[in-house]
Amino acid sequence: MNIIEPQKDFTALRLNKLCKGVLAMDFGMTSAGESCGVFGIYDLGGGDVAQTIYYGLYALQHRGQESAGIAVTDTAIKNDKVFYHKGLGRVNEVFNAENIATLDGNLGVGHVRYSTAGASVPENSQPLVLAYIKGTLMLAHNGNLVNAPRLRRELAAGGAIFQTTIDTETIAYHIARERVKSRSVQEATVRALKKVQGSYSLVVASPRKLIGARDPWGFRPLVLGKLDNAYIITSETCALETIDAEFIRDVEPGEVITIFQNGRIESNMELALPKEKTARCVFEYIYFCRPDTTFDGMSVTQSRIIAGKLLAKFHPVEADLVVGVPESGNMAAVGYSMASGIPYGIAFTKNTYVGRTFIKPQQSSRMQSVKVKLNVLRDVVKGKRLVMIDDSIVRGTTGNQIVTMLKEAGAAEVHVRVSSPPFCHPCYFGIDIPNREQLIAHNRSVEEICKILGADSLGYLPIECLSEMAGGRPICTACFGGDYPIAPPTEDIRGDYVK
């Protein structure tokens, strides 16, 4: 068994080909961090997959900008050798033409990360690559486990030595342990996942199999696709579109899907719950997913347009123009305009080379990013009564700045409308909101929040409208209403008590 990491190279070299599609860079008042994006591919014809993974990760860059990684193996060679490269930074900062060329293999996984559990340090970058008694494993994980601290303590008591502080390593250890007494790696994966609780969309590559798994609640998206002789399991349909792959179907909540070397696909539904108990994260529809993604059969663009129409119904106002905070507020603004009859306009120009503000770990970085990446079009807003649509207000740290910028540019009024309810409760399933004290809506009325923002009025989408955004599918709304589908943890991955 050999695991080889190519020499790290963080020069400014770039791949010759440009990634298709436009990254969904969001500005917004949202200050919630999300988890990660995963991409797994198995080319049954033996072609190298590293460059395809690169493009797939580029399409998923909006899901995390702290680190990126790719691991591959050649299934035609029986030595289980794995080549990998990963590091801190965005996809085009971690990879270049030279290090991509060293990643030879037809089976591989990739990952982009935002740290919701575990620090933003190189050793926490994914995919994880492990050698164990049955060969090698390559794992990439999107989500948070609520029972990870207890599982880590149990493993440590049994002699396990951890190299990271992320949930993914706990899953990997359990798969490795279960593999010793299982007939196959997919059986070991099912057994291991029966021990964990929380959110996970997972891709696992063994020497000659690609496995995808989605938690029983279906918190995070996961889809199956095909490109010529290759099968793909990835976080969002937009990644399939970017590489011209065909969308086959969603991986179902509670499903473990295995792709074999002969092209056979096996589905295991042992982990599944009754469909009415599933709990898709509604924030995927509101904010996380790229607008060109379809999440469990629902177009994210249409979902946001529906939210805007409902906002116009519940919070009408006399105004001259409806504008959206780029990018995820734009489609809701279109919906508000359609329902209200108020013209839709573009009030902001943004520097697309600056990443999403919420992904910056430090508040000082987020505040600086507001001024660096967004400018108001003065000629558009001067003298106008504006309806400004945003997807959410979490911490509210940048909201006042945006309203102030509009008024300083000459807007007569700024009426803020939010295409989600007040964010009142922390999330333990992949949104980086650790405690209530950081939430602007905690212990504040709508009027108090409006005053903090400096807006002329403020209206939120009612919580009962969220199901319509998801096309009637069961969703998790715990961050708004506090009704958690799983009991929240009492401590985080580092052993600190959750407030």
Catalytic residue positions, numbered: 36
Distance CA 258, CA 48 (A): 20
Give the E-state strand segments of 294-351 in sequence order: 294-295, 298-299, 321-324, 348-350
CB atoms closer than 10 angstroms to residue 77: 11
Residue 244 gets the label, from left (phi > 0), alpha (psi -120 to 50) or beta, of left
**Concatenated DSSP letters of 96-145:** -HHHHHT---SEEEEEEE--SSS-SSGGG-SSEEEEETTEEEEEEEES-B
Q: Tokens 């809506």 — which residue?
A: 441
Distance CA 40, CA 390 (A): 33
Question: In a 3-state reduction of DSSP, which class is residue 13?
Answer: coil
Distance CA 236, CA 294 (A): 7
User: Are the beta carbons of 375 and 404 closer than 8 angstroms?
Assistant: no
The set of long-range contacts for 94-97, using a CB threshold of 8 Å and a minimum separation of 24, is: 94/10, 94/67, 94/68, 94/69, 95/15, 95/54, 95/68, 95/70, 96/9, 96/11, 96/12, 96/13, 96/14, 96/15, 97/13, 97/14, 97/15, 97/16
Positive or negative, the CA dihedral 416, 420, 421, 425 is: negative
Distance CA 213, CA 317 (A): 46
Distance CA 342, CA 112 (A): 39
Distance CA 13, CA 10 (A): 8
The residues with which 298 forms a beta bridge, in sequence order, are 295
Question: In a 3-state reduction of DSSP, which class is residue 454?
Answer: coil
Distance CA 390, CA 333 (A): 8
The residues with which 436 forms a beta bridge, in sequence order, are none
Tokens of 420: 């989600």
Distance CA 193, CA 191 (A): 6
Distance CA 68, CA 79 (A): 26
Tokens of 127: 């995919």
Enclosing H/E stretch for 399: helix 399-408
Distance CA 24, CA 32 (A): 15
